[in-house]
Amino acid sequence: MCRHLGYLGGPRTLASLIYEGGHSLEHQSYAPRMTQGNILNADGFGAGWYHGGPGEPGRPVRFRRDRPIWSDPSFREIAEVVETTCAVAALRSATVGFPVDESCAQPFRSEAAGRAPGRFFSHNGKIEDFAGAEGKLRELAGDLAAVPDARAPVDSALLFGLAARLWREGRGLGAALAETVLAVSALAAGRYNLLAADGAALAATTWGDSLFVRTPPGEVWISSEPLDDDPGWQPVPDRSLVTADLAAGVRVTSL
Q: Where are the alpha helices (DSSP H) in 102-195?
A: 130-141, 155-168, 173-185
Q: Which of 246, 241, 225 is nearest to 181 (CA)?
A: 241
Any idea what DSSP says for residue 148? G
d(CA 171, CA 119): 13
Residue 176 parent element (H or E): helix 173-185
DSSP string for 113-125: BTTBPPEEEEEEE
Number of Cβ within a 10 Å radius of residue 23: 17
d(CA 161, CA 117): 16
d(CA 100, CA 179): 28
What is the total residue count of the chain?
Answer: 255
The three-class DSSP label of residue 159 is: helix
Q: Cite the active site residues.
A: 2
Q: Which of 81, 71, 86, 70 is nearest to 26 (CA)?
A: 70
* Cα Rg, the chain, nearest whole Å: 16
d(CA 3, CA 35): 8
